[in-house]
Amino acid sequence: MPHDVITFGEAMVRLAPPHFQRLEQARSLDIEIGGAELNTAVGVARLGRSSAWVSRLANNALGKLIANRVREAGVSDEHVLYAEDGSRCGLYFLEFGASPRASGLVYDRKDSAFAKASPGMFHWQTIFTGAKWFHVSGITPALGPGMADATLRALRAAKNAGLATSIDLNYRSTLWSAEDAGLTMRKLLKSCDLLIASQGDAETLFGIKSSSFGEAASKLVDTFGVKMVVGVQRETPLVWRNKFGVVGFASGKVFESPWYEVEIVDRLGAGDAMAAGLIDGMLDGDFERGILSGAAMGALKHSIPGDLPWITREEVNGVMSGHGLRIKR
């Protein structure tokens, strides 16, 4: 069955102590799953589009847990591979903070089944048949040379198949150096239509200095030939209360969403939810609506525990219409 959106990346099992406990004092851990590209695929599915997530999982109980949650969220796992080499699933541990203590993360993902996949395992011509959009983040190529090659092959195959493509730069300094990231992303951006990036990452990875998002985005367009650039705007006066918005650049113009004041239940995955709303708008050929929908999706995700955006289109439309705080009876 053809899918509107294909995403490619790793998912991990998330373990978090309840009640704002520190990991060192925890007696139990709540289980969720998440991964940047999977989160976006779920957001797309929640908006009523068809999406498929491409990955490789350990052939064990944790891999099956992830696959079960993927299907539960309405995302196709038909292109998910299972490792028969004893590989593992990645884990990460989340410690929720409260002001003045920040939240913290501990990753345990080395040698995961996905990171050890070889580029030739994924048959992109078949995967992209009938699809419209391909999305990946900078986390995927950061997992090793094999994944960087696999991401490059996927993007080139997507363009050859006529798909629109998006990359969320999502630079993680714990996974690779700015120099390595910059060199790899320069190659990947040659096959990218829509780039999600911040001013800070543009300077860190590409040396692009700017005084505004519009200036940075314009330079990214001129340098790499991408058609559109989108960024998240955030103000963080308190750990559990932020302001959230989205800004975009296309055809020489800057588009800004309203700012949303959000009470944070769980902010992980907000940017991925934003990407889902953005892609949804773009599938209708409306960049400005994508910005507005992405901002509403990202704002709503802050109110939902776990990484996955359990959001409805009705809720997105309500937030966009200014009805986000009305009680539905």
Catalytic hit among 168, 201, 266, 272? 272
Q: How far is the CA of 135 from the CAs of 148, 181, 254, 272, in angstroms?
A: 14, 18, 22, 11
Residue where the block lists tokens 């709540």? 30
CA 83 to chain centre: 24
Helices within 189-325 (DSSP H only): 199-206, 213-224, 270-283, 287-301, 313-320
- Is 4 in the active site? no
CA 212 to chain centre: 23
Q: Is 32 helix (H, G, I), strand (E, B) or coil?
A: strand
Q: Is 145 helix (H, G, I), strand (E, B) or coil?
A: helix
- Active-site residue list: 272
